[in-house]
């Protein structure tokens, strides 16, 4: 039996995700090999993510490895995967969605009493949402893997930093925060990045893999990524989208696009039935486009290009 080579970034979280997929494949009788690949986004920790290019910062190196047959599949946090893949590649499975929330990791409970805070994040979306709600706060850039970002929070005079719940949970460090003198709180007013918490498997078109797909995750991913694609926003743009299950066949959707400084925000909230999901992401995006989202996205791209 052919060993399936699993390409992954080298961060502890990415390796956890690759090993999760390896365990799923091995349960189906497949032999696997983990092949770590360095990405441009991991190598360059000095520049903000948006200055490295709008899309594919964390996936290009793995795309190249796939196209050159150095790996058979690549495992990603789906929110890092551009909505348009290189020719010859395709998303073939969505095996899991963890908690999709963003969380605030902070040092002291008095953070909620302050009139001015310093918050760290490398995400334009998180920065824009934070500035929209707390325009008097200072938001500073924060790059690196989860462990490095937590250490930077401890080493600097910052009040807190924003992370993905799934990243801290999968890296098994949520329980370690208290030992470091840190606390965390779910940010329930911040709309998650499209596909946040979902694992995505990319392969060459036609590659045969045992079925690892979770149909619910595929529905979430399809609607959220279609929303992002229709708005023409890169995965670093200030765009949020989240689908949640409400009832047996009924789902809710929240979407938002913000200006870079967070002063402007356009939102859409709706419900839809499972039978309708294939084009719903496009429908929701068009609702925001009718409100002026296209002009906002154009301005965002211009601002990012000037930085």
Contacts (Cβ under 8 Å, ≥6 apart) of 293: 231, 257, 266, 285
Cβ atoms of 34 and 19 within 8 Å: the answer is yes
Task: Give the model confidence (pLDDT) of 170-228 as tens digits.
Answer: 888 888 898 999 999 999 999 999 999 999 999 999 999 999 999 999 999 999 999 99
Burial of 83 (0-12, 13-18, 19+ CB in 10 A): buried
Give residue 56's pLDDT. Answer: 57
Domains assigned to the chain = 102-186 (3.40.190.10)
CA atoms within 13 A on the CB side of 117: 23
Q: Quick one: pLDDT at residue 236? A: 63
| Residue 144 confidence (pLDDT) | 87
**Angle at 269 (CA atoms; ends 264, 272), nearest 5 degrees:** 155
pLDDT score at 53: 46
Q: Which residues of the chain have pLDDT under 70?
A: 1, 39-58, 233-236, 306-307
Pair 125, 240: CB distance under 8 Å: yes
d(CA 174, CA 99): 13
What phi, psi does 125 have (nearest 5°)?
A: -65, -50
In which element (H, E) is residue 105 found?
Answer: strand 102-106
> What is the structure's pLDDT at 50?
43
pLDDT value of residue 143: 87
- Joined tokens for residue 113: 């009493």
Of 183, 26, 16, the C-alpha closest to 110 is: 183
pLDDT at 11: 87
* Vertex 88 angle, CA 85 and 91, to 5°: 50
pLDDT, averaged across the chain: 91
pTM of the model: 0.90
How high is the pLDDT of residue 171?
Answer: 83
């Amino acid at each position: 039996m052919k060993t399936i080579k699993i390409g992954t970034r080298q961060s502890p979280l990415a390796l956890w995700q690759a090993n999760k997929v390896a365990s799923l494949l091995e349960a189906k009788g497949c032999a696997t090999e983990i092949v770590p690949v360095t990405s441009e986004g991991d190598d360059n920790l000095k520049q903000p993510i948006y200055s490295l290019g709008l899309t594919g910062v964390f996936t290009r190196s793995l795309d190249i490895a796939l196209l050159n047959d150095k790996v058979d599949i690549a495992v990603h946090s789906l929110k890092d995967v551009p909505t348009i893949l290189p020719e010859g590649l395709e998303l073939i499975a969505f095996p899991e969605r963890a908690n999709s929330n963003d969380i605030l990791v902070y040092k002291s409970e008095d953070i909620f009493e302050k009139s001015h805070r310093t918050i760290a994040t490398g995400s334009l979306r998180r920065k824009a949402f934070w500035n929209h709600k707390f325009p008097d706060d200072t938001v500073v850039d924060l790059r690196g893997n989860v462990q490095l970002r937590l250490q930077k929070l401890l080493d600097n005079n910052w009040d807190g930093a924003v992370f993905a719940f799934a990243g801290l949970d999968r890296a098994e460090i949520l329980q370690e925060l208290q030992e470091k003198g840190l606390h965390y709180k779910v940010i329930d007013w911040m709309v998650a990045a499209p596909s946040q918490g979902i694992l995505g498997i990319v392969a060459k078109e036609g590659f045969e893999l045992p079925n690892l797909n979770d149909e619910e995750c595929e529905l979430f991913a399809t609607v959220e990524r279609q929303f992002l694609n229709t708005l023409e926003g890169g995965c670093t743009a200030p765009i949020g989208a989240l689908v949640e299950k409400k009832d047996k066949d009924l789902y809710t959707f929240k979407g938002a696009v913000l200006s870079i400084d967070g002063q402007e925000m356009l939102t859409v909230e709706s419900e839809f039935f499972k039978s309708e999901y294939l084009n719903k992401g496009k429908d929701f995006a068009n609702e925001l486009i009718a409100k002026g989202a296209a002009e906002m996205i154009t301005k965002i791209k211009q601002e990012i290009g000037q930085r």
